[in-house]
Structure 1
Amino acid sequence: MTDSTTARRGRGRRPAAEVRANVLEATGRLLLEEGIQAITFDRVAKEAGSSKMTLYKWWPTPGALVAEAYFSRSQPVLEFPDTGDIRTDLITQLRSFVHWLTGAGRTVTELIGAAQLDPELARAWAHHYATPRRELARARLATARDQGQLTPEADLHIIVDQLWGACYHRLLVLMVPLDDTIVERLVDQALYGAANPSGGTPGGSTEIG
């Protein structure tokens, strides 16, 4: 028996949490470097030093694994700050989001496109990424509302749609380049709106006709 064999047996099986973390790291790296087509259980198992049976036990399809790996990869980059100033925090977070999309835009486009045809990926995307991300934003906005920085009537879900939805619209529908020059304008539009505060007419009159 060689020393290396003894060492491997002495270490025993790796903890499940370590194996899972390695699988998610390998999947996230492959996803961003090569795209969604690179994600197969064969390839990921080889890259992560795991077994295909382990992957099948934790994820029903490669699509489900992709969605969780994408959230795991993006989570540290897209943490939501809380400095006490909602405008500053929205600008900081949205700027990070735009920078992330600038680098991972192809991956996001592939994921959302594939989710239209893969129900398991769609469910995993909503569960592991879209819903948690939305809740982080809603919770930060709710804190700002409780502190009086937003009106009691502010629709937090609509604000989320206005801000992050605008970025997705530009990326997926208009297919125009994203850059952070739009961030402050998006935030100010969402927070302060476009209505004339004097009542809707240049002279301040609210009469119609």
Structure 2
Amino acid sequence: MGTLELRERNNWQTNSGPKGLAGAAEHKLFQAFKKAFKNTDYEITEHPKELKHLYDSFELSKEVLEQIFTPSDEAMQKAKRLGWGVSPDFAIKNKKTGKILFGEIKRQDGWVEGKEPSAGRGNAHERMCKLFSPGLIKAYREHSGINDLEILPFWIVLEGDITRDPKRNREIAFWFDSYTKNFFMWRPNMTDKDLIHFFYQNLKPYLD
């Protein structure tokens, strides 16, 4: 890979990573909801810990255990303290009902005016697909208290050029199928009010 290609890849990783614009998008979302929830029954927390140790005590079969690496008890405990689980970007909680909506914000580039189709590269949106796995959906429902089957127990907010990319919009809408309330394209022409309005119209009723 040439020097120019490496520089372009590093720039993309910086802008898309947690220390770049993705982190800024997350902060923007958090501040918007924190302001909207002032003096209400709702609260938003960053990086909730409820699911941090989700896999720690999951029991593997004897057959599997015999075929994998077995660390010492001390090493295992040290590793587990870091958390074997998932860490959503945020959680919105109804303090009266105790119900929680876990959420993630994904910022990614995309194919828009003046760019080539390759501008839509990146896998931030693909990393959310783990949430569709049977095990995580079950765990999210148990911890969130959201058991209504017409809704998924998580919310994805997407930001950046991906929200206007013709391929990615089709791809993501296809993944979610009829669960249109569970993702939001926070497009550049939108404000905090659009984000808050979407939540109140589509997701708040499931926390009441």
- Fold match by TM threshold 0.5: no
Structure ID, larger Rg? 1
